[in-house]
Chain A
């Protein structure tokens, strides 16, 4: 009896392994007759991250594009390759595919990757040609897909950064409900008033490496723009400039002056925590993108939902250090990012892929993409239609986009960004003063630009 169970167990193990292996099978490479095959990739997956985008590609783009092509007598079989991971992981897998000479036909890229993907030869400039869409895409937004004067893809969506403030806390502190500071000092003054409230952190200005790119995009870069500088002036990276010193000095005033919570900046979940605090009325002012409004405090499906979002959350433009001191003499500044779709240079059907790309960026397609879940697209004609019902997003599209700046799409950018994060982190924790941190940053920058990038 005993022996039999043993043998049965052994047989089961072997059979189990065999079955599992058989089920694992080989890769799918079965063709579908004579149809041209195209693949779209995006960091989106139905039922998970960016689910609306995934559903749009699967349920709207693919069937309609296939039908339109069939009408023209072309048989196309489009498939979607979803993923739902960190952007860095998505980028890594995409690049692995591309360096092997394979990969999807339509790539969805963060705008700042365009340069390095072009350098590697993964994407090529779009051929000259008149596409009606460009008329509706502002030049600054088109810059997302531009590198060294060439256009490598079509920008798809964009965003903008503002100051969000908690109106209830503002009322308690005797601050106005329609707040619009005109200088950094006015922001600090408001934060000082909020500091008098019990259990309230006045201001969340992202700092440190734990916040990652959020520190750069929602902290250093808009401030730097407010001090009249950009991180890359078109020729070289900005070092320990006056503007950077002013930015780091502001960090020192915020975190050294008890206007922000330095510990929070170091927590791995600090950003999530700051969102929760804002939603719970424990945080007064927050620098964030419209993402915060759409996906964080959104009463429907936000990660830190606020039932009273529409009444309690205010927003204001980010002021320059003082009026007129911003980039290009502006009074107000912002930073934007966005995504771009491009065609795989090694794809088998480049022309068909370009057709699909333009199809995905038509006014009709973009409208369908954001209908259920309003967000800012690259096209003004679409924005006018879909953002009308949302005052915050309309504000960004109308007021912020005209004065915003974009990050340089260069391969060194991620490392420069980390250096900026480290500098602000050191200042926020009081480990370094502004001048020392700027010096560290300049040293690191030399390593990035000089020592093999």
Chain B
């Protein structure tokens, strides 16, 4: 794989292909991101004395955050939110839908896919109204269906509500990714396993999952990162009741916009990045371990590595 340069691109042309994206990223992503890291080491505000003369405070903001209950509280909530809605919710439901639809063509498949995707592409501000209407305490659709008038879902079960909401919102990506992944599993292998008397679960575990491990990694990485950064729950609950749904992006938003503490907010987003880094490393570790061959050929490796290797080896 490493030696393959099938299109005869050559390093120079490859660099030219990468350059436009990298230039844009360097200017409008890396540069402002580094600037934000620097802001995180100051007491900068948009108004007040600290706007006129911000002071360099080094790691004060980080120390303040780590010592503050609301930071650790918010981080805990975010991890719950990511674990519940992305890892367990979107990934599992997305896989389940892809699995249920895998041999299906026609109207039902198209309808299911369309609805799932609709939830994904509608603008966040619209989606928030939809869910407020669904969960409304007095005339909400859910209370009407369940016969539970007066249940304020967003107040009584706020975290569960935004987890379910985010599953609804983001399952589409996992569904698409796994649908694609499943189409790469050779039917002959499943057939062989079935003939050997493997149960449905065993087929999944022994044949399907190993074959799509790379996709699982890509999927978990992206949806965890996206969910970690998702601000939409704020539109539903405003971070409340009290601070029960104040996930990191909401916490940062309130710090930066309502309190005007931009230096502190910047430091918080750097901390958030570090947590994301740890999560990414855990994923890479977990999903690499059982497949030493692929990881050795791929360095720190992007998720696609093992998939490509396996496909190349498949009949």
Q: Which residues of A are in contact with B by a Cβ distance under 8 Å?
A: 88-89, 91-92, 95-96, 99, 113, 115-117, 119-122, 208-210, 263, 266-269, 273, 411, 414-415, 418, 422, 425-426, 429, 431, 451-453
Contacts and interface: CB of A to CB of B under 8 A. Distances in A.
A120 B258 CA distance: 17
Interface stretch (B12-20, B26-34, B105-113, B235-243): B235-243
Contacts of B236: 268
B51 A266 contact: no
Contacts of A414: 258-260
A267 B46 contact: no
Interface string B40-80: 00010111110110000100100010000000000000000
B51 A99 contact: yes
B177 interface: no
A210 B51 contact: no
B46 A96 contact: yes
A120 B260 CA distance: 13
A89 B257 contact: yes
Interface in B89-105: none
A185 B106 CA distance: 69
B105 to A, nearest CB: 21
A452 B47 contact: no
A415 B259 contact: yes
A420 B48 CA distance: 22
Given A210-B238, A266-B240, 18 more contacts: A91-B47, A117-B47, A119-B52, A120-B52, A121-B52, A122-B47, A208-B240, A208-B242, A209-B242, A210-B240, A266-B242, A268-B154, A268-B236, A268-B240, A429-B241, A429-B242, A452-B60, A453-B48
Contact of B257 (A92, A116, A121): A92
B47 A411 contact: yes
A313 to B, nearest CB: 22
Interface of B: 43, 45-49, 51-52, 57, 60, 64, 132, 137-138, 152, 154-155, 236-243, 257-260
A411 B257 contact: no
A121 B48 CA distance: 8
Contacts of A120: 46-49, 51-52
A153 B238 CA distance: 33
The winner among A89, A117, A268 for most chain B CB atoms within 10 A is A268
Contacts of A411: 45, 47-49, 260
**Which has the most chain B C-beta neighbours within 10 Å: A95, A99, A116, A267?**
A267
A115 B260 CA distance: 14
Contacts of B52: 119-121
The 7 A-B pairs at the shortest CB distance, nearest first, are namely A266-B241, A411-B48, A116-B47, A95-B46, A120-B51, A268-B238, A116-B48
B46 A92 contact: yes
Nearest to A452: B43
Q: Which of the listed residues B43, B241, B257 has the most CB atoms from chain A within 10 Å of its own CB?
A: B241
B47 A95 contact: yes
A268 B238 CA distance: 6
Of listed A121, A209, A426, A452, residue having the most chain B CB within 10 A: A452
A426 B152 contact: no
Contact of A267 (B51, B64, B152, B239): B152
Contacts of B240: 208-210, 266, 268
Contacts of A453: 48
B contact face: mostly helix, strand, loop, or mixed:
loop
Nearest to A410: B48
Given A210-B240, A415-B259, A451-B64, A267 B48 contact: no
A209 B60 CA distance: 27
Contact of A426 (B47, B238, B239, B242): B242
A95 B45 CA distance: 10
Contacts of A263: 137, 152, 155
A267 B260 contact: no
Nearest to B241: A266
Interface centre among A92, A266, A273 (most CB of B within 10 A): A266
Contacts of B47: 91, 95, 113, 116-117, 119-120, 122, 411
Given A92-B257, A267-B154, A268-B236, A99 B241 contact: no
B246 to A, nearest CB: 9
Contacts of B152: 263, 266-267
Contacts of A268: 132, 154, 236-238, 240
A268 B48 CA distance: 30
Contacts of B60: 452
A88 B240 CA distance: 18
B132 A119 contact: no
A116 B50 CA distance: 10
Nearest to B136: A269
A429 B242 CA distance: 10
Contacts of A210: 238, 240-241
A99 B155 contact: no
Contacts of B259: 414-415, 418
Contacts of A425: 241-242
A442 to B, nearest CB: 16
A116 B239 CA distance: 26
B49 A267 contact: no
B49 A119 contact: yes
Nearest to A277: B138
Contacts of A451: 64
Given A95-B47, A116-B47, A119-B49, A88 B257 contact: yes
Contacts of A88: 257-258
Contacts of B48: 115-116, 119-120, 411, 453
Contacts of B154: 267-268
B51 A95 contact: yes
A451 B155 CA distance: 32
Contacts of B51: 95, 99, 116, 119-122
19 contacts: A95-B51, A113-B47, A117-B47, A119-B48, A120-B48, A120-B51, A122-B47, A209-B240, A263-B155, A266-B155, A266-B241, A266-B242, A267-B152, A268-B154, A268-B236, A411-B49, A414-B258, A452-B57, A453-B48
